[in-house]
């Protein structure tokens, strides 16, 4: 039994090490930062956010304020027994994570689903991936990248599912483990969030579930590092939904690079063919 446990531990350690190396090599963690810079430099991409700005800000401020007023101190009191002096920081990170999740659920469900789709498609058009975008919507002639977006043919951004919420709740107790538990929690959230950011890309590529899973597994390190960076940005108080939009920009930039071959996954076509 001891040998079996040791073998399993070695196997898991090897997988984690390989994924970490792939994450560093992919440099996918830079795309959320590139998304911020690209968003700031292209004013036409602001229009979907501006159209939802009042609802987005009021939701973010209201939820974050409520959570710190009513959830922060009780959680810090509980964490004082497990985290000691780090309880204040751990509780703050946990409260920010909870606030971000609630804001995302409310906003994606009621406000910004179509706006995120427009943002993703607009970036692809600006990067000359018009043929790809035309698989999911009509493309008009003339104007900037956002003005060229016509009627949606397919709506890709799925609302939060019960399974994703249940997984989030199951992972929450990890935050009661000092430092390491919070880090594991963030990595697990990043592992989930990374592939989700490319749901629109997978739809435009017309990949079935087997092709998507093959591509994600081949690029697991890159998607996890992207997801971790994006998740950390979305934990910033009151600005989290701004970063939802910039992370969408970053995901679209990555998709454009994949299409052009300047990619963190240079054998994309071969991977897709193997999955067929």
Chain segment 96-133, per-residue pLDDT in tens: 888 988 888 888 888 898 899 999 999 999 999 999 99
Give pLDDT, residue 161. 65
- End-to-end Cα spacing for the chain: 40
How far apart, in whole angstroms, are the C-alpha atoms of residue 176 and residue 247? 28
What is the pLDDT confidence band of residue 4, given thresholds at 50, 70 and 90?
A: low
Q: Which residue intervals of the chain are DSSP H helices?
A: 2-26, 31-41, 46-51, 53-70, 72-83, 87-110, 113-126, 130-133, 162-171, 180-196, 199-205, 209-218, 220-234, 240-260, 268-275
Closest CA to 99 of 256, 244, 211: 244
The residue that leads in pLDDT, 202 or 1, is 202
Angle CA(25)–CA(30)–CA(35) in degrees, nearest 5? Answer: 150
The residue that leads in pLDDT, 247 or 269, is 247
Give the three-state DSSP class for 152.
strand
Report the percentage of the chain scoring pLDDT > 90.
Answer: 48
The residue that leads in pLDDT, 39 or 141, is 39
48 pLDDT above the threshold of 70: yes
The residue that leads in pLDDT, 55 or 7, is 55
15 pLDDT above the threshold of 70: no
The residue that leads in pLDDT, 221 or 176, is 221
For 182-196, b where at least 16 C-beta lie within 10 A, e where not — what string?
beebbbbbbbbbbbe
Q: Which two tokens stand for residue 269?
A: 């076509």
Give pLDDT, residue 156. 67
What is the pLDDT confidence band of residue 272, given thresholds at 50, 70 and 90?
A: very low
Q: Which of 15-24, 125-134, 243-252 has the lowest mean pLDDT?
A: 15-24
50 pLDDT above the threshold of 90: yes
Q: Where is mean pLDDT largest: 2-6, 58-62, 66-70?
A: 66-70
Average pLDDT (200-225) is 93
What is the pLDDT confidence band of residue 158, given thresholds at 50, 70 and 90?
A: low
Give pLDDT, residue 170. 83
Give pLDDT, residue 111. 86
Q: Which residues contact 117 (CB under 8 A, 6 or more apart)?
A: 152, 155, 156, 157, 200
246 pLDDT above the threshold of 90: yes
228 pLDDT above the threshold of 80: yes
What is the pLDDT confidence band of residue 16, given thresholds at 50, 70 and 90?
A: low
Q: Which residues contact 166 (CB under 8 A, 6 or more apart)?
A: none
Backbone torsions φ then ψ of 152, nearest 5 degrees: -70, 135
Report the percentage of the chain scoring pLDDT > 70.
Answer: 86
């Amino acid at each position: 039994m001891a040998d079996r446990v040791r073998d399993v531990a070695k196997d898991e350690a090897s997988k984690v090490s390989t994924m970490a190396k792939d994450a560093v090599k992919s440099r996918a963690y830079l795309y959320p930062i590139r998304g911020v810079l690209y968003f700031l430099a292209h004013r036409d991409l602001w229009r979907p956010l501006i159209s939802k700005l009042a609802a987005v800000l009021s939701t973010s401020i209201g939820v974050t304020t409520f959570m710190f007023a009513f959830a922060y101190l009780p959680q810090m009191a509980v964490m004082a027994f497990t985290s000691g002096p780090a309880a204040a920081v751990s509780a703050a990170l946990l409260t920010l994570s909870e606030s971000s999740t609630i804001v995302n659920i409310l906003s994606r469900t009621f406000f910004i689903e179509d706006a995120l789709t427009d943002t993703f498609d607009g970036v692809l058009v600006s990067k000359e991936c018009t043929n790809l975008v035309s698989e999911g919507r009509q493309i008009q002639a003339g104007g900037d990248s956002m003005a060229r977006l016509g009627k949606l043919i397919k709506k890709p951004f799925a609302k939060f599912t019960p399974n994703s919420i249940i997984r989030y709740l199951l992972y929450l107790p990890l935050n009661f483990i000092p430092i390491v538990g919070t880090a594991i929690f963030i990595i697990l959230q990043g592992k989930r969030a990374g592939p989700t950011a490319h749901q629109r890309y997978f739809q435009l590529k017309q990949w079935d579930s087997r092709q998507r899973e093959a591509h994600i597994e081949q690029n697991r390190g890159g998607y996890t590092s992207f997801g971790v960076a994006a998740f950390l940005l979305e934990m910033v108080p009151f600005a989290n939904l701004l970063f939802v939009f910039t992370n969408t920009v970053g995901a679209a930039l990555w998709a454009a690079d994949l299409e052009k071959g300047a990619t963190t996954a240079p054998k994309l076509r071969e991977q897709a063919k193997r999955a067929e």
